Structure 1
Amino acid sequence: MRYGSIEAGGTKFVCAVGDDDFNIVDSVHIPTTTPEETLAKVVEYFKKFDHIDAFGIASFGPIDVRKDSDKYGWIIKTPKKGWSNVNFVGTMKREFGVPVYWTTDVNGSAYGEYIKRRQSNNKIEAVSYITDGTGIGAGTVINDEFLGVRGTPEFGHIRVKRHRDDMDFDGICPYHGDCLEGVASGPTFEARNNIKGQDTPPDDPVWNIIAYYVAQGVISLTVNFRPDQIVLGGGVCTPQFVEKVRDQFNLLFDNYLDVGPLDEYISRPVVPHNGSATFGDFVLAKKALDESKK
C-alpha cells in the first residue's frame, strides 16, 4: 500500500508518501499561496507516483467535518485570506478517486502522537496535543476517536485570565482580541515587542507570560477531559518553554488532581523531525481505506 499525507498549514503544505509501515518514502514542502496554485502543486506532486491508495489530510481551518453537510471536506470561514469556502477533499477525490480521511492539522498531530505513544505503552487511552505557532489549536484523541461532533474544537479561542504584567496588551485575535490565541500565539511576541519569537532572548519576561497562558490551556484540557498525556508542539514550544509551562501549571493547578510526573504528563512530541501530523495522516489514511472496504 502507498499512503498520501497532506499537512496543510497557513505557511506551507507538507506532502508525503508513506509505505505499509507508515515510513516516509518521499516528501515535499509547498508554499501556501492561493488555493488554486497550491492545490494544483499538491495534485502535481502526488501524480508523480504510480498510485496512492488513500489520503490523510490534516488542514488548517476552520474546516467542515460533518459528513452529512453539503460542505463536508471544505475549508470554511477562515482568517487565511482567500481560503474560505475551498472544497479540499472534493479536489483530491476528483483527481485521485481514493478514500480520504479529513481532519484538522492539530488532530493529525494528536493522532500521530497517540498512536506512537501507545506503541510503547498500550495503557495510554487519551492524548491531547496543543500546537502553539502562527495560531493555537488543540486536538484530543480518546480511545481512538477524536473529540468533537458538530465540528472540530477551536481551542485557541478559549478565554484566559490575564497576566498582571500583560494588562495593556490588547491581543491579536481579529474576533476576540485576548483569547488564548490572541495573547499566546507566536505572532504575539512581535506584536508586544517588535521582536519575533525566535529572536526573543530566553530570559525575556514575555516567555513567562506566554507560558502562564498556555498553562491555563493545559489546565482546561486536564479538568475537562483528563487525558493521560498532553503534548506541546509548534514553533513556540521549545524545550525551555515547555519547562516554563510545567512550572506555571504547577503553580496554578496546585496539585488539585494527580497527573503523575509533570515531565511525562506535559511533554514535547515523541515523533521525530516534527513528523507527528505526517505519521498520523498515514495511519488515518489506512483507516479511511479500511472503512471503504466494509
Structure 2
Amino acid sequence: MELGGTKCIAAIARGRDILVRERWPTGDDAAETLGRIVNWIASSGENFTAIGIAGFGPLNLDRSRSDYGRIGTTPKPGWSGIDLRGTFAKAFDVPIGFDTDVAGAALAEGRWGAAQGCSDHVYLTIGTGVGGGIVAGGVPLHGAAHPEIGHIRVRNASADGFAGACPFHGDCLEGLVAGGSLAKRTGIAGEDIPPDHPVWAEVAQEIAELVAMLVLTTAPQRIVIGGGIGSGQPQLFPMIRAAAVKALAGYGPISDAATIDVLVVPPGLGADAGPLGAVALALDALP
C-alpha cells in the first residue's frame, strides 16, 4: 500500500511486476479508507507472503515506542494518531514492511530505477506535499525519527515575498513549492500553471537550495526528484541543476555542472515509484 495525502494505492505484485492495483481517495475518515483497502486485499484471493506499507508522514517508526506504527501529528484531517501498521497487522498474519512513502520510493528507485547501483541516494517527491527519503548503505536513514526534508527552510526566491503556506513553518520548502502552496502563490491550481510561468524559475531556485544542502550533508550518489511537480514539469531540471551549481559555488567534488547533471535526475520508475516502494518494503520484510 502506498498512502499519500491525496490518494491511496494498493497493489499485488510478484517481484517488481504489479499484477493488479486499485486506488481510492485519501478521505478524512481514516478508518473507512483503510477498511476499504483491507477488504480489497482480503477479497483478492491472492496467497501473498508479505505486506509493504509506504505511508505519508510523519510516521512513528521507533519499534521501542508504544506509538510505533502510528501516524503522528499531520495536517491531513482525520489521520493524526491512526494506527496505520496495526490496522493491517490485525487483519493479515504476514511480515510487514513499514516506512514512509518516500523511503519506499527511494528503495524502489535504488532496486529497479534511476538510482540502481547506488548505495547512498535520495528520493524527493514534490506534489501535494514535499518529502524525501534518504538511503544510506542500502537502507532508509532513521534516527530518533525519519527525515522531514520538505520542512527545511530555504532562501525564499519569490519576487513578491510570498509568506509561504505551511501551517507549521510558513515558507519552508513545502510551504513554497507544494501544489497547494503554488496555488496560493500564483492564484492558479498547481497542475494548471503553464510551463513558461515565471514562478517556475523561483521554484527551481528553491529546490536547488535543498539539492545543495543534501550534497553538503549526505554526499549522495544520486538525487531523484519525482512527484506531480517533480516529474510533471521536466523544464525544471535544467534550471534546478544550474541553480544548484551556483549555490555550491565550486565547493567540494560534487559541485561542477557535469557531476550535477548526472546527480539530479527524474525517477526511472515514473509514477510507479510509489507503489513499487511499498513492494520493496514488503520484499525487505521477508525472512
Deviation digits for residues 85-136 of structure 1, max 9, x if unmatched? 101111101111111111011111111111125885x3x2211011111111
Segments of structure 2 that go 5 or more residues without pairing to the other structure are none
Distance 1:235 1:50, change over 3 A: closer
Is the Cα–Cα contact under 8 Å of residues 114 and 266 in structure 2 kept in the other structure? no
Q: Find out whether 1:39 has 2:34 as its counterpart.
A: yes
Deviation digits for residues 221-257 of structure 1, max 9, x if unmatched? 1100000010111111121112221121122222323
- Partner residue, 1:143: 137
- Partner residue, 2:226: 233
**5 Å matches for 1:101-180?**
101-117=97-113, 122=117, 124-163=118-157, 165-167=159-161, 169-180=162-173
- Partner residue, 2:243: 248
For residue 263 of structure 1, report the CA deviation from its aligned partner.
Answer: 2.8
Runs of 4+ more than 4 Å apart: 117-120
Deviation digits for residues 42-88 of structure 1, max 9, x if unmatched? 00111122322111111011110000111111112111001011011
Distance 1:197 1:119, change over 3 A: closer
Deviation digits for residues 237-287 of structure 1, max 9, x if unmatched? 121112221121122222323335333210000114x11122232222122
Is the Cα–Cα contact under 8 Å of residues 166 and 209 in structure 1 kept in the other structure? no
Distance 1:245 1:70, change over 3 A: same
- Partner residue, 1:267: 265
Is the Cα–Cα contact under 8 Å of residues 46 and 52 in structure 1 kept in the other structure? no
- Partner residue, 2:189: 196
Is the Cα–Cα contact under 8 Å of residues 113 and 127 in structure 1 kept in the other structure? no
| Distance across 2 between alignment mates of 1:231 and 1:15 | 23
Q: What do you get for the CA RMSD once the two structures are aligned?
A: 1.6
Deviation digits for residues 178-197 of structure 1, max 9, x if unmatched? 11111121222210221012
| Distance across 2 between alignment mates of 1:10 and 1:79 | 9
- Partner residue, 1:279: 276
- AA of the residue aligned to 2:94: V
- AA of the residue aligned to 1:68: S
After TM superposition, the structure 1 stretch with the greater mean CA deviation from structure 2, 84-93 or 235-244, is 235-244
SS at match of 1:74: coil
SS at match of 2:124: strand
Task: State TM-score, norm by structure 1.
Answer: 0.91
Task: State TM-score, norm by structure 2.
Answer: 0.93
Is the Cα–Cα contact under 8 Å of residues 8 and 60 in structure 1 kept in the other structure? yes
| Distance across 2 between alignment mates of 1:36 and 1:156 | 27
| Distance across 2 between alignment mates of 1:12 and 1:198 | 16
Distance 1:32 1:80, change over 3 A: same
Is the Cα–Cα contact under 8 Å of residues 115 and 280 in structure 1 kept in the other structure? no
**5 Å matches for 1:26-105?**
26-33=20-27, 34-47=29-42, 48-105=44-101
Distance 1:136 1:119, change over 3 A: closer
Distance 1:164 1:39, change over 3 A: closer
Is the Cα–Cα contact under 8 Å of residues 114 and 269 in structure 2 kept in the other structure? no
**Which residue of the other structure, out of 166, 190, 205, is the alignment partner of 1:212?**
205
Segments of structure 1 that go 5 or more residues without pairing to the other structure are 1-5
| Distance across 2 between alignment mates of 1:204 and 1:7 | 32
| Distance across 2 between alignment mates of 1:76 and 1:82 | 11
Identity of aligned residues (%): 36
| Distance across 2 between alignment mates of 1:16 and 1:176 | 34
Distance 1:119 1:140, change over 3 A: closer
Is the Cα–Cα contact under 8 Å of residues 204 and 243 in structure 2 kept in the other structure? yes
